[in-house]
Amino acid sequence: MLAAELPDQPRWIETRSMLRSGHAAVFGGPRVADGFAVRLLHGPFSVVAIVGRPPAAAILSALEGATPMTPILAQADAAADVERALIERAAAGVPSGWHRERVVVHRLTGAGEPTVASGPSVAVRLLAEADPLEQVLPGLRFEIGHAVGIVPVAAAFVDGVAASFCYPCWITESLWDVSVDTIPAYRRRGLAAQAARFMIAHQRREGREPVWGAVESNGASLRLAERLGFTPIDELYAFSRGPWAFLTNGYNG
């Protein structure tokens, strides 16, 4: 099994989670040493990940049926191979428009700065499926509405309104990938940090430690990671054709 050949380390969290889901398609292989591409297009999930240095044909096959918002994740040593495959795809008449971003991968190594959300009426708890999300913009509402049905979602409530969210986007045996977002009107109040700390504690009770991945251009995410005590330990590259998130397949809002 390919997932068993990949160590349970932060750089492989998305790929191992995809392989363990039972819904991923693999192109290339059959060993990790041969290189392969893995595609997950299941429900709203939409992502392609590259392991090693598979042939261009495997990368291109993994992109068949992908949505315009499907990102490609690749380690640094495979980034040039992905670029060549995308150039080949464009030469064959498939629209291009891909751009590459560096993703900084973090582990939690310190206690971080103490965080107290502003306002006396802030509460943090697990989001329930019955909690209203009308106040959330369509894209985030779609994402959170799906997530709450399959994983725990921490929410910071202000005067009873769910304003900030944190949940594990990817899960392996010992790791979870932090996904965090806040309604624009409630940002810069410390709510995201409160939700993240709640989920870190919740997942630790399950024996999992957090991984924080943020594109280099997302200064707000990088600063929040630092405040919470995360330290950069690795990098990978994401290729996309515009704004992307993992829970995007079929979303038209």
Give the integer Cα–Cα distance in Å for 242 and 98. Answer: 8
Which residues, including other chains, have CB under 8 Å from residue 59's CB and lie 6 or more apart?
27, 37, 48, 50, 72, 81, 82, 85
pLDDT value for 252 = 47
Task: Give residue-wise pLDDT tens across range 162-192.
Answer: 999 999 999 999 999 999 999 999 999 999 9
- Per-residue pLDDT tens digits for 123-164: 999 999 999 999 998 888 888 988 998 999 999 999 999 999
User: What would the mean pLDDT of 194-219 be, rounded to a whole number?
Assistant: 95
**pLDDT higher than 60, residue 110:** yes
Question: CB of 147 within 8 A of CB of 171?
Answer: no
Confidence of residue 117 (pLDDT cuts 50, 70, 90): low
| Torsion angle defined by CA atoms of residues 74, 1, 5 and 236, in that order, rounded to the nearest 10 degrees | 10
Whether a cis peptide bond, with omega within 30° of 0, leads into 30 is yes
**What pLDDT is recorded for position 115?**
64
Average pLDDT of the chain, as a whole number: 89
Taking CA 212 as the corner, what is the angle to CA 99 and CA 69, rounded to the nearest 5 degrees? 35
Q: What is the CA radius of gyration of the chain?
A: 18
> What sign results for the dihedral spanned by CA atoms 121, 122, 127, 132?
positive
State how far the Cα of 166 lies from the Cα of 152, in Å rounded to an integer: 9
| % of residues, the chain, pLDDT over 70 | 92
**Taking the CB of residue 157, how many other CB atoms lie within 10 A of it?**
19
Decide: 170 and 17 in contact? Cβ < 8 Å: yes
Give dist(CA 144, CA 121) in Å, integer. Answer: 22
- In the prediction, which pLDDT does 42 show? 81
CB 202 within 8 A of CB 152: yes
pLDDT confidence band for 250 (50 / 70 / 90): very low
In 108-233, alpha helices (H)? 138-147, 191-204, 219-228
- Tokens representing residue 58 in the block: 């495997």
